[in-house]
Amino acid sequence: MSPIHLSRRTVLKSVGATIALPFLDAMVPAFARTAQVRAASPTRMAFVYAPNGIIMDSWKPTDQLNQAVPLQTETFALPKELPRILKPVAAYRDQFSILSGLTHNGGRALGDGGGDHARAGASYLTGVHPKKTYGADIRAGVSVDQIAAQLVGNRTRLASLELGCEQGLFGGNCDSGYSCAYSNTISWRTPASPMPLEVSPRAAFERLFGPSNIDSDPIRRARRARYEQSVLDLVLDQARTLQTTLGTTDRRKLDEYLYSVRDVEKRIFQAEQSPNLADPDLPLPAPGVPQSFIEHASLMFDLMAVAFQADVTRIVTFMIGLELSFKVYPESGVSEAHHGLTHHRGDMEKIEKIRQINEFHLKQFAHLLDRLSTTADGDGTLLDHSMIVYGSGISDGNRHLHHDLPTLVAGRVGQITPGQHISYPPETPMTNLFLTMLDQMGASMEQVGDSTGRL
């Protein structure tokens, strides 16, 4: 029994730093913990976006590839042998399901001609066909993450967090007359207000754990950087005082959490100090971003996990890459740009290289599942209390198809039952999934985009 009772909103605070705490036993009153611990564990929502489509015959569970198109929803257990692209996450097969048959009609041309990549990004979380323009009059819809942020985001320090591994612009013509804003984010606060991605691990870290009004004065910020003072060092005295009042289990939880924050902080510093090891024939990442994509993605996923653990936010979007991305992933064994390969025209060598990139992306995603599934939270783990969607707004990147989209949903929240392959009838709106997820977040809506009901 913990000696004290803490508020769920307790933080460690000092000049220049605010550290939220993970969920501790001391935050649930004595004698009421068993009944309240699940209720005290909040539900989280995250969307991880992979660009340019996926090779579907290496994604969709193989025992269902030759099945007739279902006229009604059909549910199967995931096969023992997962498709090649899903094998990197096979260790978590009992913690996720694959959904087939979901469609984004808003991603289709609908008379607007080319621009499938822009429409894929803009419609993915909104379910809305974007206005074809590359001027200031952009218009899409409000994305599901921002709907949730507007309804329940006031319960956390940050309403939402938008992360990415590739910087993009919001101006100019990026895809057949569509603004770059459409392909460079999946999060929209209003139909005309896209949310920019944070790609710098340090900037994301400071947003999560720095002061709520981060100092904008460049001289003072430079002085802080010179001192290289750890965020944790600023609140260490408070942490030590708090630990003396906690029970054994809570002390262990707090130690593990502070270690995670310190570890991410050290890795960010090391990445910023590392020499430039990139092949000079390849474009260098933006300043402040690790040269290794694996290290970059790992840091961003760790920041997501720590943000959920500390309840700094419950809503995150993460773009592994931008639509129309020409990024090269040498660590995947492929030395050619991603987007160009997707226009393979049946070339088996190019198709194989896309499979390698798709598989490489899933290997990075597996790191997030590992962190969430091994971090205790209430009566389970962070993954038990989360809804994590991994997918793309395009299925076949060569033909730019927007139906039967690759969709993986991890977690055990509410009626979500992992370990299944659920096949929905053709043209089932992806936004029906979003309505269902909003219900679990306590942010129910009558409609999102082109939704027709709940799954």
Task: Report d(CA 422, CA 217) in Å as an integer.
Answer: 52
The number of beta carbons lying within 10 Å of the beta carbon of residue 376 is: 17
79 or 28, which is more confident?
Answer: 79
Q: Look at the block and give the residue holding tokens 């002390």.
A: 251
Reported as a pLDDT band with limits 50, 70 and 90, residue 252 is confident
Specify the higher pLDDT residue, 130 or 221: 130
Look at residue 234 in the predicted model and tell me its pLDDT. Answer: 63
Structural domain boundaries of the chain? 1-40+203-288, 44-199+314-441
Q: What is the pTM of this model?
A: 0.83
Assign 222 a pLDDT band (cuts: 50, 70, 90): low
How far apart are the C-alpha atoms of 96 and 78, rounded to whole Å? 9
> DSSP of 131-177, one letter per residue?
P--SSS-------HHHHHHHHHGGGSSSS-EEEESS---SSSEEETT
pLDDT tens-digit series, residues 94-139: 999 999 999 999 999 999 999 999 999 999 999 999 999 999 899 9
Asked if pLDDT for residue 39 goes beyond 70, the answer is no
- Cα–Cα distance list, 23 to 14, 27, 329 (Å): 20, 7, 37
Lowest mean pLDDT of 67-71, 289-293, 340-344, name the range. Answer: 67-71
Protein fold of 44-199+314-441 = Alkaline Phosphatase, subunit A (3.40.720)
Q: Which of 11-20, 26-35, 81-90, 328-337 has the lowest mean pLDDT?
A: 26-35
41 pLDDT band (50/70/90 cuts)?
Answer: confident
By mean pLDDT, which of 62-66, 164-168, 245-249, 292-296 is the weakest?
62-66
- Residue 35 pLDDT class (50, 70, 90 cuts): very low
Mean pLDDT, rounded, of the chain: 85
Chain segment 373-397, per-residue pLDDT in tens: 999 998 899 999 999 999 999 999 9
Q: Is the model's pLDDT at 11 over the cut of 70?
A: no
> If we measure between CA atoms, which residue out of 366, 392, 367, 369 comes closest to residue 382?
369
By percentage, how much of the chain surpasses pLDDT 90?
64
pLDDT value of position 38? 46
At 192-208, the pLDDT tens digits run 999 999 999 988 888 88
Share of the chain above pLDDT 70, in %: 78
Are 21 and 10 contacting, i.e. CB atoms less than 8 angstroms apart? yes
Whether pLDDT at 284 is above 60: no
Strand partners, 49: 319, 391
Round to whole Å and give the CA distance between 81 and 92: 13
Q: What is the pLDDT of residue 282?
A: 42
What's the confidence (pLDDT) of residue 143? 98
- At residue 4, the pLDDT reads 60
Q: Averaged over 16-29, what is the pLDDT?
A: 66
Cα 127 from Cα 291, distance rounded (Å): 35
What pLDDT shows up at residue 277?
Answer: 43
* pLDDT, tens digit (0-9, with 9 covering 90-100), for 51-78: 999 999 999 996 654 566 678 899 999 9
Query: Is 281's pLDDT higher than 60?
Result: no
- Give the phi and the psi of residue 273 in degrees, each rounded to 5: -95, -10
Higher-pLDDT residue of 232, 416: 416
Whether 15 shows a pLDDT value over 90: the answer reads: no
